[in-house]
Amino acid sequence: MENIVKRTKYKKHNEDDILAALTEAENKNFSVRKIAQRYNIPKTTLQNRLKNNNLKEKGQPRTKNELSIAAKDILSLRTDSSVGFKKILPSEQWVKDFMKRHSKISARIPESLTKASANVTATEVKSHYDYFYEFLIKNGYQDLLSKPERWFNLDEKSYVLNPLPKKVLAPKGVKNVYRVDHKNSKESLTVTHCFCADGTYLPSQIIFKKVFSRLGDVATTCGSEGAFFLFAQTENGWQTKDVFFEYIKKLNDLIKSPRPIIITYDNHSSHIDIKIFRWCAQNGIIIWTLPANTTHVTQMADVSMYRPVNSEWNKSVQEWKFKNNKQNLDECDFVTILNSVEKKVFEPQKIKNGFRSVGVFPLNFNNLHVDRFLGSSKSAEIEIADNSSNETTYEEYLENEEEYIVEALDPDFIQEFEENYTNNKVDIENIKSLSTVLPRPQNYIKEGKRKYKILNSGVMTSDEILEQCSKIEEEKLKKNREMEEKKKLREEKRILKEEQALIKANKKRIKTETFEDVIFNEGASKPKRGRPKKQNN
């Protein structure tokens, strides 16, 4: 049975007082210490808020187990504590009680994010949106800002043909439960989707491998199911520049809206081709590529559509297998299920909300979830509406909890302690920050100059970009010509060297034969080379 310890009432700081103190501190009217004393707020709380020094914002949120370790390490240094986990980790019940005391903290499943994406700041993305707005106004396209039927978004998605279910039913007590794969469970098909800001979607393009020979059967299945898909084939079944170009040409024929129209997509290498940009510029299509490494915030399909698509796809595949008594999907079955999933998920209101949530239509940076940008950026630099939630960060509540567990130092000595603290050697009298016993990971996202730059993003059909692309193309052609010339020279040198070696070998052979003819008389047999044989007596 758990030991029940009577706990004292915890002091909680007024959020309005903290915000008022932060405003004064940012204006630098008084020192942080004086402001903290005036509002009766610990100086470290105010400093951490000013520095935005929390692990959640740095991309390293803590786990429940790390919370337990921190609590144990803190209390193990105290001699007067009545809590019963000085030498062992707190129980799960203690963690549950902690979560109840701080109801605004919840356990979440983290999403993986690359370091390049984590370094992008809201300021950079805002400048990208501002530039596109200025481009539309400058070129007389302001009427497009109120016409959703002229805004489109493209994005690829990979569909696994035979996804494994997360859980299956099995007898109790069985340790290992296996599911036989009659086909590779990782086999997938790439599909390019096209969405319109008015809530509609255009035919998707399915990309098959070049070796696939049943394209006629797939087309017949589409006809019987009333499905309309476009098909393409590549060597490995992935997107290429040529296939993407052909898809845009087909979409141009299908889109009946007056020109110009706007197509947005990410800056994947298969999307960046001067042939595409030139053709689109000639046919009234404005290409707006999204900022690099920001698809988790700015790509409409990734943000709003693909999560429900994944859920519905896995569910539909399992239902179809059960009803049809099949173990695996083939390509004909794939188009049937994909058609059903699109009809269920691609609802008009969902598509409209998706464009709105990424600030594409209506064109408004304020609609973006700026809290998803982990890169360093001061809020004062971005004039946006306050769309942040009332939730308090994870580390902030850890800090408040620590204030009730550990007796703090006088604020005047905190700075001296932080300057003299080294080698992770702590005493109970010096514990003030959770980082003392729970150090920050060494690979967290540091503030400062970014190594990653936003490339290949912007209005790719503008005269400026087309001119830059032409220069790049000319430089590339020039470099290729130089490489071909060098390759040709190397080949000529190699051939010349071989000819010289052959001539030298022939001269040596002729000289040897002439010398042998002089020594031996004409008609005399020449001695055989090699060691002579022994004669038997």
- Could you give the C-alpha distances from 95 to 40, 89, 90, 434, 464, in angstroms and in order? 29, 10, 7, 17, 58
Which H or E run contains 92?
helix 92-101
Q: Identify the bridge partners of residue 156 per DSSP, sorted by sequence position.
A: 192
Which H or E run contains 459?
strand 458-459
Hey, is 129 helix, strand or coil?
helix
State residue 188's pLDDT score. 87
Measured between alpha carbons, how far apart are the two ends of the chain, in Å? 108
State residue 421's pLDDT score. 40
Report residue 405 CA to chain centroid gap: 39
Sheet with 458-459: list strands edge to edge. 230-234, 201-209, 188-196, 151-160, 261-265, 285-289, 458-459
Distance between CA atoms of 221 and 330, rounded to whole angstroms? 12
Q: What does residue 533 show for φ and ψ, rounded to 5 degrees?
A: -80, 150
Hey, is 493 helix, strand or coil?
helix
DSSP conformation class of 137: H
Distance between CA atoms of 488 and 494, rounded to whole angstroms? 10
CA atoms within 13 A on the CB side of 13: 25
Hey, is 433 helix, strand or coil?
coil
Q: Which parts of the chain sit beneath pLDDT 50?
A: 1-2, 54-59, 377-426, 428-429, 431-456
Residue 285: closest CA among 265, 315, 269, 304? 265
State residue 174's pLDDT score. 80
- Please state the pTM of the whole predicted model: 0.61
Start-end of H helices in 238-347 = 241-254, 274-282, 295-298, 300, 306-324, 331-345
